Amino acid sequence: MPCRDTRNCLRLLARTTLSLALQLGSCALAQSAPVSWNHPWHSSDEQQFVRDATAEHMHELPDNPVKTYSLSELIDLAESNNPETRVAWERARAQAASFGVARSELYPTLAAAALSQTSRDEGFFGSRFNAQAVQDFEVALDLSYTVFDFGGRRGRINSARAQLLAANFAFNDTHRNVIYQVEQSYYRLLSSMGQEDSARASLSNAEAVQEAAEDRLAHGLATLPDVLEARSATAQAEYDLQSVLGAEQIARGDLATAVGDRASLTIKVQPLDQLPMPDSISDTVQGAIDRALSQRPDLMQQVAEIRSTNARVQEVRSAYYPSLSIDAGPVAQSVYGLQSPYDWGHTAGITGGLSFSLKWTIFDGGARKNRLLQAHADVHGAEAQAEVKRNQIADEVWTAYSNLNTALRQRQAAIALLEAASQSYDSALQSYNYGVRSLLDVTAAQRTLAQARSADVYARTQVLISFADLAFRTGDSIQSTKRSQP
């Protein structure tokens, strides 16, 4: 609708311009840097990011505080729920698609196009201009195919195939790491639970000593400093118990996170006393190293990288030779024409062409030579990196094997220490009740017993952790026939 009032038209234009400027300004502000360095940045777009960041998990475990999970069940849950396995899986799928793209070069490409065009103009014929119209319908095909390129395509395909294998090995290595995270979190939780039992037993012993001291004070057989010393030992045992309870809560959150769920999830596990405790290693260290070199997916990933670099050498070398390609383009055409004062005319037929193209780079200033040198250097670098990985794996297995032997020996020493400390405490408390030992002797025996209990729990869990670490270093944890854990 036209605007007849000039003043109203100007006002309308000003309001429209101001509204547009405000909208553009808000968009520009949302995409700009913070206006000041001394205040947090906030904008209207931030809320959308907050909603995305706090979105619910795709998979959530049922919060069942009654069910007791075994280690194998937790590992299965982690492999299904932990997002790290899905990330590695999607990367492998993307690499598989890249391999398919590379293989497509072995086949011709066929493109089709349909065209309809109408043109009208004045054609000069004789001594006058005549109006004419032309209606053109075309269906065209374009077929392109590289006949040979002396290994260029094959090199790219082999490189993509090796990269796919590397992605698959990386996927397996992700599972190995996830399993290891669950095992370590699981055994840390068991250790915390065992330390809780130990701390509660130590608190009970301290309370027994305090009760005995107060009873002897009431009968005039002990002094007030003895009672105060006993109360101090009880308070220390209570303090140690609270520290252990806090560590246990953290361990439960770590295990829930390793499984792939929220840290507040309640996961009930078997107590440490119910787990079988291995007492020896059934393999030699050299056997473990050899098994690791044949099973570790990160080493296989490095070997795949060597194959990929060798394939790139083949691809680069093909640039020294010519490539032959063929291009065919048949066109089905139907043309209608009208020129005054004549009737419509029509013609149809198949047109197109066939061409061969031979390309050979004669001189490129040394680019091909340097690319080939670079490709060979990448091969040698990948081979050296694989050797570094082999040495690293051997050292990791050697260390894990040695730690396991140490843990087994410490376990035997911890058993003897706990037995001796228990007997010493019982004897000291009994002698104190008879008045032949001092309270300092009893509290010292009590502290030694508490340390012995803690060392026993640590030694037991260290054996399990060391077995899991050796399985992780050798790659046994992702072998279906060796999944069982103590």
Report how far residue 270's alpha carbon sits from residue 73's, in angstroms, rounded to the nearest whole number: 12
Contact criterion met (CB below 8 Å) for 130 and 340: yes
User: According to the model, what pLDDT value does residue 286 have?
Assistant: 95
User: According to the model, what pLDDT value does residue 41 have?
Assistant: 81
The interaxial angle of helices 285-295 and 367-434, nearest 10 deg, is 140
Residue-wise pLDDT for 365-375, tens only, equals 999 999 999 99
Tell me which residue of 189, 210, 196 sits closest to 269, measured CA to CA.
189
DSSP assignment of 274-319, as one string? GS----S-SS-HHHHHHHHHHH-HHHHHHHHHHHHHHHHHHHHHGG
Tell me which residue of 45, 72, 461 sits closest to 278, measured CA to CA.
461
| Vertex 74: Cα angle to 69 and 75 (nearest 5) | 150
Tell me which residue of 282, 283, 299 sits closest to 394, measured CA to CA.
299
User: According to the model, what pLDDT value does residue 5 have?
Assistant: 53
Strand pairing of 128-148 and 323-339? antiparallel
Could you tell me the CA-to-CA distances from 437 to 209, 234, 350, 424, 432 in Å, in that order? 13, 19, 117, 12, 5
Residue-wise pLDDT for 195-224, tens only, equals 999 999 999 999 988 998 898 888 888 888
Contact criterion met (CB below 8 Å) for 140 and 329: yes
Report how far residue 339's alpha carbon sits from residue 353's, in angstroms, rounded to the nearest whole number: 30
Contact criterion met (CB below 8 Å) for 123 and 144: no
Contact criterion met (CB below 8 Å) for 296 and 214: no
DSSP assignment of 11-23, as one string? HHHHHHHHHHHHH
User: According to the model, what pLDDT value does residue 484 have?
Assistant: 44
Q: Which residues in the chain come in under a pLDDT of 70? A: 1-31, 55-65, 126, 480-486
Residues shown for the chain: 486
Report how far residue 358's alpha carbon sits from residue 312's, in angstroms, rounded to the nearest whole number: 23
Contact criterion met (CB below 8 Å) for 227 and 238: no
User: According to the model, what pLDDT value does residue 98 have?
Assistant: 95
Q: Is 0.85 surpassed by the pTM of this model?
A: no
Report how far residue 375's alpha carbon sits from residue 377's, in angstroms, rounded to the nearest whole number: 5
Tokens of 62: 């049922």
User: According to the model, what pLDDT value does residue 486 have?
Assistant: 44
Tokens of 92: 């492998």
| Vertex 175: Cα angle to 174 and 179 (nearest 5) | 120
The interaxial angle of helices 439-474 and 224-259, nearest 10 deg, is 10
Tell me which residue of 171, 151, 169, 165 sits closest to 99, measured CA to CA.
165
Tokens of 481: 């026939």
